[in-house]
Amino acid sequence: MKLNVRRRKKLVHLDLKGAPPRAEYLYKLIELFSQLGADGLLVEYEDMFPYEGELKLLQATTHPAYSQEEVLSMQNFAKSMGMEIIPLVQTFGHMEFVLKHRSLWSLREVPYCVGTLNPHKEESVRLVMEMLRQVVKLHPDLNTLHIGADEVYTLGEGDESKLWLATPGHTVEKLFLSHVTKLARAIREEWPHISIIMWDDMMRGMSHDTLKASHLVGLVQPMLWNYTPDLDVEITVSLLEKYHSAGMTDLWAASSFKGSTSVYTCVPSTLRHVDNHLQWLKVAASLSAGVTLKGIAVTGWQRYDHLSVLCELMPVALPSLASCLQTLSFGHFNAEARAAVTERLGVTSVEMEEIERLPYRSSADDSLFPGRRLAELIVELSTSLNSDDIRFFESDMFVRGWFSPYHRRRKLVTPLITMQVHSKALGILTTLQQKVDAMREEMMCLFPDATVQEWIEEHVHPVMAPLRRITEEIRACVKEMQLCS
């Protein structure tokens, strides 16, 4: 069953809390998203939004936030492509980029959870509303706003929450609903025309009666997220129908094309994410009459949260995104859908790791697949970094047999063999460095310098450091035996 393009929106999620694309590359991505069938962007700015005044401290410091002109230009460009922009601003959980700042520590629910806002302080609502005002002001054509509210960890554990919960009838569920309702009412009062979307996970365990009695009904549109390839269709359908019967009739789904396999995945598996979308199509087909989805957000997480490592960069995930969007359009992922992906991107496979590499070309020559050169270099480098020869270098027979920790401590080695080990390690390091340099040059064209450095420190340094250490220790041992100057 197809997710009817005319009736249901397909949003592509831009997670900018890590590896924010340079403006020129961002425009190329937006154009591609539109060509692939997306009709909206769910933009999670976090610290890349140009907050002003007392909120200026929320801007990124490792690289410049987007300017007001860039944010407006992005919207205008997306609009010219027929795409709607929906900002996603976290307002309860996952506020790490806000609550990490010392001046705002007092607004945490508990000191040790950087992401959850204290719902009892008036300053908390005032802070969130000021964030929203600045975002809404810079989106003059805004019709829909996503307020996050997922994974509100440790809610109810703060001293003020414990006091509140001591009152008979008060529960953590009601505490959550109270804050979100207060916020949603404030938004509706200030901007009556704006529709409000929120993540659903904090409401999944709530009863039908609790939801129906909540004042959220008529205020918010739940977006149910599930990113797994084995999504349970029956459970998901029952959740959506529970929300609908409780009065929340405007419902959304959220799938994933990257950033949901593991916190440190470097290259996504396209078929894993396609399977997630095939399951969502089964959900859409299984809903009772009268229960429909307004649309689906195809999420592409760049970090699990503000303080975690980078997930897959956008270029290596474009074949996955294209495949997921075509799955939604075709209603399946057969040979026809695959061909639509490979022809559109000019590739030989839907799996990034299996795509046949093209001869070297400039980064400007990527009209079909923006960032393809970088994607190929990342795959090549990642393959090398994860090869057995490198990962298990210290398990090599000659290393374990003639340059063990025992030998290193005593600086007593067989130079003939250890210098062969040194030569092999040095050769690997030289080859890796050449690949790193090529990748760095290409990545700097598309992403901030800080992103390049972070990616290298996360993926490259932990692999190269042991090899460098071995070469240094061998030279020290050989020198100790007066066989080397």
* Beta carbons of 81 and 31 less than 8 angstroms apart: yes
Report the run of H or E that residue 345 belongs to, with start and end: helix 335-345
Of 31, 70, 151, 241, the catalytic one is 151
Q: Beta-carbon neighbour count of residue 431 at 10 Å?
A: 12
Q: Which residue in 212, 237, 147, 156 sits closest to 185, CA to CA?
A: 147
DSSP 167: S
DSSP 346: T
Identify the residue whose tokens are 């070469």: 471
Q: Which residues of 150-185 are buried (b: 16+ CB within 10 A; e: fewer)?
A: bbbeebbebeebeebbeeeeeebbbbbbbbbbebbe
Q: Which residue in 283, 259, 294, 286 sits closest to 273, CA to CA?
A: 259
Q: Which two tokens stand for residue 150?
A: 């997922």
* Beta carbons of 79 and 90 less than 8 angstroms apart: no
Is residue 151 part of the annotated active site? The answer reads yes
Q: Beta-carbon neighbour count of residue 38 at 10 Å?
A: 24
Residues serving a catalytic function are 151
